[in-house]
Amino acid sequence: MPDFGLNLENHYARLPGEFYTLMPAEQVGVQPRLIHANAKAAALIGLDPASFSDPAFAQVFSGHAPLNDFSSLAMVYSGHQFGVWAGQLGDGRALLIGQARNPAGELWDIQLKGAGTTPYSRFGDGRAVMRSTVREYLCSEAMAAFDIPTTRALSIVASNEQVQREMPEPGAVLTRLALSHVRFGHFEHFFHSSRHERVRQLADYVMAEFFPNLAGDYVAWFGEVVKRTAELMAGWQAVGFAHGVMNTDNMSILGLTLDYGPFGFMEAYEPGFICNHTDTQGRYAFDMQPAIAHWNLRALAFALPSLIPKDRLVAALDTYEALYRSRYRALMRAKLGLVREEEGDDRLIGELLNLMAKAKADYSLSFRNLSGEDVAWLALFGNGNTEARAWLSRYRARTQGEDLSGLDRVNPKYVLRNWVAESAIRAVEDHGDIATLDRIFKLVQTPFEKHDGDEAFAAPPPPDMCHLEVSCSS
């Protein structure tokens, strides 16, 4: 049984058996085949990228062989889905196959996504399709490049089977890495089943592993969760990212972007952008995300009264809006190169967003093109847009004396537009074209660079890719 030189430990299994089910992967499909692997993610767990060429790699990271003698497990949790209590959920298509201690001393979860059914699969098949696997693989790297906290992806392995969704699709297994996959829903699970001692045990585990300086101080710990969540939302909003399914079981206790499904990066700026076509009520629209994160934090707080007095929970929740606004304001100022504080800066930012919404200007390019010629920026708003011209004049006057040389290191040229992700998916599924996947993978890992010859991937979609839709099955 290979271990690829990893320093494996199993800390989560030290919790009582109520927290998980020990089980092997289902070994989905036949003759698993490595499609792509991520050297940067490998470094996070101390894995030598030379292991990618080992035939055993595809076996282990598809679930066909265990990772040494690690006892793999599926976690149980519950959650609110679209604002409604859904009861017990859990790792329905995910399996923790290892926890690796890297040279820096960090312990990382190694989790397979799509390796088969678990006791928590409910009516699901435990599989993942190539489409959703490629999207998460690329997007988690894009978010990491933007310095937004996220899970990471190590590899894509084709399972060489067909998986039934709206239609049959090729299956795949994603290996996902995170310091922890513990969610708000883990705490809700035990609170709503009146197992308050388990809530305490879980909090003690999380604090000991990830907040050791706060051990025993539940109030400070919850305050840190609020802060990380607020700052995560600010990062999403500033880069124009919509998650699509912000259920409490998809919210990380460490403030990571977790569970990439029907996500979307903003193209034409629309504050009420809905990236998930099954979200018919717009609960998880782009402009709703900060408020929904606060709602989810309240749901988490509701599960913690055995640890933290109600007034202290309320006080921590009350810090959320100021934390969010402070971080968001700092990020937006950086996107415009506003270093020194001047009266009217917030109005300048707000006016730009209003202009973008009216003109349906491209979100990312509206910031990126500020570092170029005025004509390229004005073209985003339509010829003869006098309001845009007037705003640009005010902006140029305001930034006299500011150093704008760093704008291209703040505003990405490339975001993972749905059509770009779809290009990678079609290349792999239709033609076995890994070169296109690799090309796009390199773009999202270095999104601020120019990448001569790949400029088309920085543009809005071509006509045949204008109406792509993604849903929870994505």
What tens digit of pLDDT does each residue of 104-146 get? 999 999 999 999 999 999 989 999 999 999 999 999 999 999 9
Task: Name the average pLDDT for the chain.
Answer: 96
Domain range enclosing 395: 338-409
Is 473 a residue whose pLDDT tops 60?
no
Residue 374 bears catalytic tag: no
- 383 is a domain residue: yes
Distance CA 249, CA 186 (A): 8
- 398 is a domain residue: yes
- 87 is a domain residue: no
- 403 is a domain residue: yes
pLDDT one-digit tens code per residue, 270-291: 999 999 999 999 999 999 999 9
Read off the amino acid at residue 20: Y
- 166 is a domain residue: no
What's the average model confidence in pLDDT over 434-440? 97
- 293 is a domain residue: no
State the total domains in the chain. 1
**Antiparallel, parallel or unpaired: β 128-129 and 107-113:** unpaired
pLDDT one-digit tens code per residue, 331-367: 999 999 999 999 999 999 999 999 999 999 999 999 9
- 302 is a domain residue: no
Residue of 68, 23, 24, 25 lying closest to 47 (CA atoms) = 68
What is the model's pLDDT at position 464?
74
What's the average model confidence in pLDDT over 183-196? 98
What is the model's pLDDT at position 461?
87
What is the model's pLDDT at position 134?
98
Distance CA 424, CA 454 (A): 13
- 123 is a domain residue: no
CA separation (Å) from 426 to 138, 259, 339?
Answer: 14, 22, 43
HSE, side-chain direction, 13 A CA sphere, residue 103: 6
- Indicate which residue of 109, 249, 259, 362 is catalytic: 249
- What's the pTM? 0.97
What is the model's pLDDT at position 465?
79
The confidence band for 463, taking pLDDT boundaries of 50, 70 and 90, is confident
